[in-house]
Amino acid sequence: MLVTPVTIVKRQELFYSNSKMNKKTDEILDLRQFFPYRLAVLEQRVGIATSRHYRHDFDLSRVEWRVMATLAMFDSISATDICEFSHMAKMQVSRAIARLKEKSLVIQKVSESDHRATQLSLTEDGQKIYRSIVPRVLQEEQAILGYLSASERGQLQKIIDKLEDALA
């Protein structure tokens, strides 16, 4: 069965209506109202919706796609810089880079300025795949944001910026 954000919501609605939920609500943190939890769930749903555009057709994981998207923004960048820019863990990035190198989508070269360091960039095939995926994920982004009015989209952007600045 294909799991979609709608499937997940329907399963959660069944779960939430389950009589097994603790009735002592004054003693229990209701995750359905807890901002970090809700944000994590939303991120997961958005990730599932967008990942179908690169997972099946290009056999890329979410982390591999994020590494490729980061590399596309820069001419050449180190793995450490990818971690810092994308806020992903070093181990995740290292594994993704290894898989992308195996697929010949990323090339790793010794840095010209520091021969102890390496720089990564997309190969020609990596750039082609990246350019194939971008319109798809942008279309998915618009579909998701289409649930919001133009004003709400602007507010959302401002709220995200404000929270990012506060937590930086």
Chain segment 78-111, per-residue pLDDT in tens: 999 999 999 999 999 999 999 999 999 999 998 7
| pLDDT exceeds 50 at position 152 | yes
Task: Centre a 10 Å sphere on the Cβ of residue 135 and count the other Cβ atoms it contains.
Answer: 10
What pLDDT was estimated at residue 13? 62
| Token pair 């319109």: residue | 135
Q: What angle do CA 39, 163, 76 make, to 5 degrees?
A: 90
What domains are there in the chain, each with its CATH number? 60-133 (1.10.10.10)
Q: Is 45 helix (H, G, I), strand (E, B) or coil?
A: helix
Over residues 137-142, mean pLDDT: 96
Q: What angle do CA 124, 129, 134 make, to 5 degrees?
A: 125
Q: What is the pLDDT of residues 17-60, one digit of tens each?
A: 655 666 665 678 989 999 999 999 999 999 999 999 999 999 99
Q: Which amino acid is at 67?
A: V
Confidence of residue 1 (pLDDT cuts 50, 70, 90): very low
